[in-house]
Structure 1
């Protein structure tokens, strides 16, 4: 009998902002660009635009000027350092990005800004490409590496996300966000045993982080260390009692041979959250383990009524109805 366990992830993503790279520019133009950069940093956008307009008036516009223009438009639109798709991307942002993208000499900072624009536009493959180019130009940029790892994880490229996360872990082994990312990526790749080390370290450095406890519990559950999984789910629920964590705790209790404790917990959850598919599925599992077969069928059918495409509940119901030598 199979059950469902959810995982959670919460990251504080570092800003992608870095100072503009100096290129070979006439001294007077470099000084004007520095003025625009200071205005940008201090959010004096009208002053920055006025200076950049002057710099962009010539026939030869240097790459750092185009990068600064894109940063200005991204900041104005609230898309600087974008971590997800925006409802709309202003035409001014698209125009500035197109001008920079046409260059053959886009630098590290320009790559990061183009990744922001692509992310905001929902073009995740393009965003990943620009982040890779940024890393080619500056292999030591772990902020870009973190952004790329998160992006690849979100795109389902778990092998690449895990590789990047492990690289980050070598240099930032005490950072809770990196430990959590590594555990999440390894779990998503199906490497629960490998995920245990960073997640156990996360529990030590950030014991009050509910997401970390839940991820550790999930890894333990996959490794069939059910009693330990129960302990970690209980701690996660005590910190933040979300319906998904309560449902996962019920499953862990069942698999640990404690269906009698799981059933009332899951019955309360389904009463409070009658639309929660995972709770109904896990209640069906608990009923089945307790020998309450008809109630198990009813719970699993309810899960499928709520979500006919739920493969877990369908598989559990099929397992329940499969003929056995003792039935």
Structure 2
């Protein structure tokens, strides 16, 4: 009986009088950003707004201070792709594969650039490297399937030049219909090296250290 009375008293103590408002805790303060994180956020805003020239200027300033920032280096490659500066983007992604060989995303985007240039053997090799580094990287498998199909199409076309047959011609036409609108898909962001092996969301990745 005593326990019941105690519970009743506790309920009465926490009951609010009519018209009174409950006192709520203030919202937690926004997490503080390091100077590096603030710079990365400014870069991402420029990229999201499509201001690629301004973003590239900001990226180059950032990388003078944080040259080992893999995420921003990856973003630089993406921006160069958006600007149609594919040869420079290839250099960026190639350097990333050398400095951070554990990351699959630079290999994937390198493959996308090679495929656009018709260098399908290079694209295949880059995608196979991406898959070795991350066997769960689904987009690399899809892109590799497209590359294999393109290589098969080229083989059929060569066969038709040497000895045309209806069977090969039909297969080449099927592949042509499948591949006409296709190209290897690049990815938007790469996780920092510290997150390699995690199931990182490529659209919301952690920031790399300097």
TM-score computed with the length of structure 1 as normaliser: 0.36
CA displacement at 1:146 relative to structure 2: 0.9
- 2:116 alignment counterpart: 188
Distance (whole Å) between structure 1 residues aligned to residue 87 and residue 102 of structure 2: 22
Residue 257 (str. 1) matches residue 152 (str. 2): no
CA displacement at 1:144 relative to structure 2: 0.9
**Structure 2 residue matching 1:180: 3-state secondary structure:** helix
Closer, same or farther: CA 217–145 of 1 in aligned 2, 3 Å: same
Closer, same or farther: CA 225–206 of 1 in aligned 2, 3 Å: farther
Q: Which residues of 2 match residues 132-281 of structure 1 at below 5 A?
A: 132-224=60-152, 257=168, 259=170
Closer, same or farther: CA 128–43 of 1 in aligned 2, 3 Å: farther
CA contact under 8 A between 1:203 and 1:209: conserved in structure 2?
yes
Distance (whole Å) between structure 2 residues aligned to residue 173 and residue 142 of structure 1: 11
Q: Which residues of 2 match residues 1-327 of structure 1 at below 5 A?
A: 44-45=29-30, 111-224=39-152, 257=168, 259=170, 282=177
- 2:194 alignment counterpart: none
Distance (whole Å) between structure 1 residues aligned to residue 135 and residue 48 of structure 2: 34
**Structure 1 residue matching 2:67: 3-state secondary structure:** coil
CA contact under 8 A between 1:111 and 1:133: conserved in structure 2?
no
Q: Which runs of 5+ in 2 are unaligned?
A: 1-26, 156-166, 182-210
Distance (whole Å) between structure 2 residues aligned to residue 126 and residue 191 of structure 1: 31
Closer, same or farther: CA 115–199 of 1 in aligned 2, 3 Å: same
Tell me the number of residue pairs that the alignment of Structure 1 and Structure 2 aligns: 145
Distance (whole Å) between structure 2 residues aligned to residue 129 and residue 43 of structure 1: 34
CA displacement at 1:171 relative to structure 2: 2.1
Distance (whole Å) between structure 1 residues aligned to residue 153 and residue 173 of structure 2: 17
Distance (whole Å) between structure 2 residues aligned to residue 261 and residue 195 of structure 1: 21
**Structure 2 residue matching 1:257: 3-state secondary structure:** helix
TM-score computed with the length of structure 2 as normaliser: 0.52
**Structure 1 residue matching 2:168: 3-state secondary structure:** coil
Structure with greater Cα Rg: 2
CA contact under 8 A between 2:110 and 2:126: conserved in structure 1?
yes
Closer, same or farther: CA 140–193 of 1 in aligned 2, 3 Å: same
Distance (whole Å) between structure 2 residues aligned to residue 132 and residue 110 of structure 1: 15
Distance (whole Å) between structure 1 residues aligned to residue 76 and residue 68 of structure 2: 13
CA displacement at 1:260 relative to structure 2: 6.6
* Bigger relative contact order (CA 8 A; separation at least 6): 2
CA contact under 8 A between 2:153 and 2:172: conserved in structure 1?
no
CA displacement at 1:258 relative to structure 2: 7.6
Q: Pick the structure with more helix per residue.
A: 1
Deviations 1:232-274 (A, max 9, x none): xxxxxxxxxxxxxxxxxxxxxxxx93837986xxxxxxxxxxx
